[in-house]
Amino acid sequence: MNLVFELPQKIRDEIELTGGESIYYAVPIDIGAGGNWSTDSFCVVTTDKLYTFIDGEKISHEINELTKATAEAGVGGGMLVVKKGGEDVLVAHYSSAHMSRYAYIARGINILISGRYEKVESPEYEKMCPHCGRVIPGTKTCPHCSGNGGFFKILGKTIRPYKKDLAWISFLMVMVAVTTLLNPEVQKRLINDVLEKNGSLRTALVFLILMFTLSVAIVLINIGKSIATAKLGSKLSADLRRDLFEKCQRLPLSFINERRPGELLNRITDDTRFVAEFTSDVFCNLFAVFFIFIWDVFYMLVLDWKLALLTFTVVPPVTFFMLYLRKTISRVFRVQNKKNDDVASDLQDVISGMRIVKSYGKEEQEAERFKVLSGQFADIQKRNERFWGMFDFVLSFCMGLGVVIVVYFGGSEVIAEKMSYGELYQFIAYTLLLFQYVGWLGRLPRELSKLKSSLERIYDVLSQEAPEEDPGKVRDINIKGEITFDHATFGYKSYQPVIEDINAVIKPGEMIGIVGASGAGKSTLINLLMRLYETDDGSILVDGVDMKDISRKSYHSQLGVVLQETFLFSGTIIDNIRFSKPDASVDEIIHAAKLANAHTFISKLPDGYNTYVGEKGHTLSGGERQRIAIARAILTDPKILILDEATASLDTESEFMIQKALDRLTSNKTTFAIAHRLSTLKNADRIMVIDDHKIAEIGTHAELLAKKGIYYSLCAAQNLS
Amino acid sequence: MAEDTLNIYEKKAAEMTATNMITREDTFAKTKGGFLSLDCKGTHYDRVRVSRLFPFSDADRYLSIREYGNGDKEIGIIEDLASMSEESQKLIREQLELYYFTPVISRIMSIKDEYGYAYFHVMTDKGECRFAINMGASAVAKLSDTRLIIQDVDENRFEIKDVDQLTKKERRMLDLFL
């Protein structure tokens, strides 16, 4: 994301840089003084000063007079606020378009305030292309502006491994073209040589057999071509899908989280499917159509150039009209689909909320609402069907019109004996071919740009650099379990730190209870410990070694995790437990299950450890799933154990039993346990209270009670309830 | 321990459920930095935040006045902005303009759709502008049969107060989203 925009000369003239001062950031302010859109306002940060130029008015602040800068979020916009002399001062008002940009600017100003001169850079992508104003579909560069060379290069790279298939398909395409064009020629001969001139039955038969062979050949070649392209398409998309999936697994979680939910899924499924569809529907005809088209035009000119030119003037307007009709039709059907979605989602709402609807006695009301929606849908459908009914006739009428013109003028030529019957017939056949392929060619640009953005999106992921571990830098360690947080700071979004400046030293084998309100940053802290993300500032050390310097494999093999939302893969219970340690013996698995208090219920299931769970499998209760997850976590005998509300969905008795088991387990492991029910933390050596993204209190149960702070009131609240 | 904490929570619960009304008695003032301060029932607040409880259905009524920081606690509610003094009204409106940026579309010059995105060129009460929406996502929310909120790819919001006020040509362009 650009943080240094090109400034207009007028503004540049007004900034007087003193020796050593330089412009660090320059970003637009898109809301002017009166709250109106503004195009010529800017916020400029130099190493010494903060300037704003709003609708021609210049304001400046010395950086060393400021104590803090914040990018505050409003609704549909935000503002940059600085603290000057203990008072908040509004610096700039901007729309959502610049929200994250200003978060970086605020961070940059704060760095300058602290006396450092590091420049902040934003890894985020621009949403709109600064050159063409189009939306960038989540890629680094604008697919439209990246130039055709880029697209063809990508296309070339994509299809290079399939040269053999391509050669075979190209050959078949040429054959299709040849046979298609030859057919009218033979038909002309039949008319001219046999029918008109009373030719012999034998010659007639020869022509008929030739026509028959050609027809069969067309069918056979087309079938061959379809099979070949379908094969190529599915091979191509399968390979792309595999590459994408592998890449996604290796990319950091932040890359996945930066994208909208489902967007990556779409890239893997929809975009690759489109590539396959394009290959089998469009690509397979591409050469054939071009080939036929060119020869078609050529033959028509040879047959009768005057009539051909006349026909060519009719074809474009008719084709244009046909394309327009098609566009309209896809438009109206899109409206219909949207209404259809509305009806479906409303229906789903009511059906899944049936208990609420019934218990409040609102059946009639809901039925009425649904009736209105359904009625609207029906109206649109009726209208569209009427339109659709006419569409085909209008289309063939248009094509017919073109043919009528050819027949009229061609007929006059035949009567004037300038043209033979057969030639006229051939000419009409070519005209029909022309209509067919001009329409097809008219749709081509659209398909090509769709392919282009699909490929761009696919290659955007594939070209991402996954952070590879440098084997020379990282090392394997045998974790003892000392964890040090050293000014650890992290946020998922640039403009919102979720944990700030965490400092603590956790002794090996210590159990730390983490408490705090929802959204305070507890789970985020855990995510950092799991190495799903890396700290933005500061570091986390394990046994005195920076976490980033420990190989992932070694670290994760010594980590056990039980999360709030237990995720079980589709598969059997034993597969799920074994996930953490694929070479675990059955004895180990049963032992882990017993420790997790899961063995009893598993053995009662008809299929025992072979019970199939997951999306389509046996439905387990929340507590049962949780226990399987606990078994999975303790199977590896981890040195660091992370329990994020691990026992929250259990009933009191199982919780008690698991707690007992966990107590024994956690004795020699560094354990981090998040819990809302404080009773589960009574064995914790120390309690860490996270409040407002920071450690508010840390100490033993008794210490914190004596402090009468947040923990004290939390305990009090739970004892009372 | 139980006794005094009981009192703390009683107090907290009472605080949580109480609704304090802000009236003409309470004075708002503009700070040097461009924000709003408030003196309410003997307490001075350096900076307060104004938020709409019903931003769509009742933009000028039920305004929640909140502390800035300190958990953004609610100081009180203004039931009707019109009942406040002229001066306060002006100041509060100014703050609302800052916190809520929703240009109202008065005229649609063009809508072009291209590969999943629709590009709008419109005139709003904040001036002429161009923006793009993602047609795959639910970018258009219907507040009523005729009132729309459109959210662009940058998450800016645009409002169309009454679709029926648009010309037939404009409505046909919009039709795709209605």
A534, A639, A641, A664, A672 from A556: Cα distances, Å: 15, 10, 11, 22, 15
| pTM confidence score | 0.66
Q: Are A670 and A509 in contact (CB under 8 A)?
A: yes
Best mutation target, A29, A54, A96, to test chain B (most B CBs within 10 A): A96
Question: Which is more confident, B167 or A291?
Answer: B167
CB atoms A716 and B2 under 8 Å: yes
Nearest to B80 by CA among B72, B89, B71: B89
Express each pLDDT in A41-68 by its tens digit.
999 999 999 999 998 889 999 998 999 8
DSSP-assigned states of every residue in A527-570: HHHTTSS--SEEEEEETTEEGGGB-HHHHHTTEEEE-SS----S
Q: How many angstroms away from the CA of B58 is the closest CA of chain A?
A: 16
Q: What's the pLDDT score for residue A720?
A: 46
Tokens of B118: 């629709």
- Residue A67 has φ and ψ, to the nearest 5°, of -115, -25
CB contact (8 A) between residue A37 and residue B130: no
Which residue from B minimizes the CA distance to A451? B115
- For the record, the structure tokens of A357 come out as 């609807």
Q: Is A552 on the interface with B (CB under 8 A)?
A: no
Walk across the sheet containing A483-490 and list its strands: A499-506, A483-490, A537-542, A545-546
The mean pLDDT value for A515-534 works out to 86
Long-range own/partner contacts, residues A362-371 (CB < 8 A, 24 or more apart): A370/A343, A370/A346
> Do B28 and B92 contact (CB within 8 A), yes or no?
yes
Pairing of strands A87-95, A77-84: antiparallel
| Cβ separation B156–A75 shorter than 8 A | no
Residue A654 in this model has a pLDDT that exceeds 50: yes
In a mutagenesis test of the B interface, which of A1, A72, A88 is the best target, namely the one with the most B β-carbons within 10 Å? A88
A352-356: average pLDDT: 85
Contact A681, A513 (CB under 8 A): yes
A29-41 pLDDT, tens per residue? 999 888 889 888 9
Given CB atoms, is A4 within the 8 Å cutoff of chain B?
no
For B21, which DSSP code?
B
Top-level CATH class of A9-113?
Answer: mainly beta
pLDDT exceeds 50 at position A499? yes
> Does A573 lie at the interface with B, CB-CB under 8 angstroms?
no
Q: Residue A665 — very low, low, confident or very high, per pLDDT cuts 50/70/90?
A: confident
Mutation target for B interface from A59, A75, A450: give the one with most B CBs within 10 A.
A75
- Between A30 and A645, whose confidence is greater? A30
pLDDT tens per residue, range A211-267: 899 889 989 998 998 898 888 888 888 888 888 888 888 877 767 666 655 667 777
CB contact under 8 A, B154 and A87: no
Higher model confidence: residue A125 or residue A362?
Answer: A362
Q: From CA A46, how far away is CA A90, in angstroms rounded? A: 18
Assess A137–B contact: CB distance below 8 Å, yes or no. Answer: yes
- Give phi and psi for B121, each to the nearest 5: -125, 115
- Residue of chain A nearest B68, judged by CA positions: A88
Predicted pLDDT of residue A208: 87
**Distance from C-alpha of A59 to C-alpha of A69, rounded to nearest angstrom:** 16
Range of lowest pLDDT (A143-147, A591-595, B114-118): A143-147
B10 to chain A, minimum CA–CA distance in Å? Answer: 11
Give B21's contacts (C-beta < 8 A, 6+ positions apart): B76, B77, B78, B79
A11-25, A467-481, A632-646, A691-705: which has the minimum mean pLDDT? Answer: A467-481
CA distance A464 to A248: 10
CA–CA distance, A223 with A175 (Å, rounded to integer): 12
Do the Cβ atoms of B126 and A720 come within 8 Å?
no
Can you tell me the distance from the alpha carbon of A576 to that of A598, in angstroms, rounded to the nearest whole number? 13
Q: Which residues of B have a CB under 8 Å from any CB of A?
A: 1-2, 5-6, 8-9, 31-35, 46-47, 55, 68, 97-103, 114-117, 119, 124, 126-130, 132, 134, 137, 153-157, 175-178
Q: What is the pLDDT of residue A721?
A: 41
Q: A474-498, pLDDT tens digit by residue?
A: 888 888 889 999 888 888 765 567 8
Under DSSP, is residue A157 helix (H, G, I), strand (E, B) or coil? helix
Instruction: Please judge whether B9 and A331 are an interchain contact, meaning their C-beta atoms are less than 8 angstroms apart.
Output: no
Per-residue confidence band for A577, with pLDDT thresholds at 50, 70 and 90: very high
Scan for tokens 């009428």, then name that residue.
A397
CA distance B111 to chain A (A): 13
Look at residue A506 in the predicted model and tell me its pLDDT: 92
Residue B172 has a pLDDT of 81
Burial class of residue A188 in the structure, from the number of CB atoms within 10 Å of its CB (0-12 exposed, 13-18 middle, 19+ buried): buried
Best probe of the A interface among B46, B54, B126, B176, by most A CBs < 10 A, is B126
- Stretch A562-590: mean pLDDT: 88
Contacts of B34 in chain A (CB under 8 A): 89-90
- C-alpha distances (whole Å) from A278 to each of A131, A157, A160, A232, A631 are 29, 16, 16, 11, 47
CB < 8 Å from B in window 251-290 of A: 260
* Residue A676 φ then ψ, to 5°: -90, -35
Contact residues for A721 (Cβ-Cβ < 8 A; gap 6+): none
Average pLDDT over residues B85-114: 90
Find chain A residues with C-beta within 8 A of B137's C-beta. 260
Q: From the candidates A57, A95, A336, which should be mutated to test the interface with B, based on the most B CB atoms within 10 A?
A: A95
Cβ atoms within 10 Å of B141's Cβ, excluding its own: 12
Query: Quick check: A129 contacting B, CB < 8 Å?
Result: no
Chain B positions in Cβ-Cβ contact with residue A90 (cut-off 8 Å) = 33-35, 98
User: Of A493, A529, A515, nearest to A695 (Cα)?
Assistant: A515
For chain A, which residues make up each domain, given as ranges?
9-113, 141-304+451-468
Cα–Cα separations (whole angstroms), residue A149 to A137, A152, A459, B134? 19, 5, 15, 27
B/e letters for B79-97, b = 16+ CB within 10 Å, e = fewer, are eebeebeeebbebbeebbb
Give the distance, in angstroms, between the CA of residue A98 and the centroid of all CA atoms in the same chain.
Answer: 22
Closest CA to A351 of A337, A367, A373: A367
Residue contact B32–A37, C-beta within 8 A: no
pLDDT band at B178 (very low <50, low <70, confident <90, very high): low
User: Residue A708: its chain B contacts at CB < 8 A?
Assistant: none
3-state SS class at B120: strand
pLDDT number for residue A61: 92
Partner B contacted by A87 (CB < 8 A): yes
Q: A122 with A102: CB under 8 angstroms?
A: no
**Residue of A97, A134, A449 with shortest CB distance to B154:** A97
Contact B118, B178 (CB under 8 A): no
Mean local confidence (pLDDT), A411-425: 84
Helix or strand run (H / E) with residue B131: strand B127-134
Among residues A635, A325, A33, the alpha carbon closest in space to that of B127 is found at: A33
A507–B contact, CB cutoff 8 A: no
DSSP line for A46-93:
ESSEEEEEETTEEEEEEGGGEEEEEEEE-BSEEEEEEEETTEEEEEEE
Task: Identify the burial level of A64 via C-beta atoms within 10 angstroms of its C-beta, where 0-12 means exposed, 13-18 middle and 19 or more buried.
Answer: exposed
Closest CA to B27 of B65, B53, B62, B59: B65
Highest mean pLDDT (candidates A464-468, A647-651, B51-55, B140-144): B51-55
Cross-chain Cβ contact A719/B2 below 8 Å = yes
- C-alpha closest to that of A496 among A91, A106, A86, A110: A106
Query: Closest Cα of chain B to A437: distance in Å?
Result: 23
Q: How many CB pairs under 8 A join A and B?
A: 106
- Nearest-Cα residue of chain B relative to residue A331: B176
The string of pLDDT tens digits covering residues A139-195 is 677 767 765 556 677 777 777 888 888 888 888 888 888 888 888 888 888 888 877
Number of H helices, E strands in chain B: 3, 12
Percent of chain B with pLDDT over 70: 92
Q: Of A247-251, A357-361, A456-460, which gets the smallest average pLDDT? A: A456-460
Contacts of B55 in chain A (CB under 8 A): 75
Using an 8 Å CB-CB cutoff, list chain A residues near B127: 36-37
- Which CATH fold would you assign to the domain A141-304+451-468? ABC transporter transmembrane region fold (1.20.1560)
How much is the average pLDDT of A114-127? 81
A505 has a pLDDT exceeding 90:
yes
Q: How confident is the model at residue B2 (pLDDT cuts 50, 70, 90)?
A: low
CB pair distance less than 8 Å for B9 and A716 = yes
Q: Tell me the nearest-neighbour CA distance from B63 into chain A, angstroms.
A: 15
Q: How confident is the model at residue B109 (pLDDT cuts 50, 70, 90)?
A: very high
Average pLDDT, chain A: 83
A103 reaches B (C-beta below 8 A): no
Q: Does A31 touch chain B (CB under 8 A)?
A: yes
How far is C-alpha A294 from the chain's CA centre? 41
Tokens of A417: 């004996």
What chain A residue is nearest to B128 in terms of C-alpha separation? A37
Candidate from B102, B132, B157 with C-beta closest to A128? B132
Q: What percent of chain A has pLDDT over 90?
A: 13
Are A92 and B72 in contact by the 8 Å Cβ rule? The answer is: no
**CA pair distance A45, A105, nearest whole angstrom:** 8
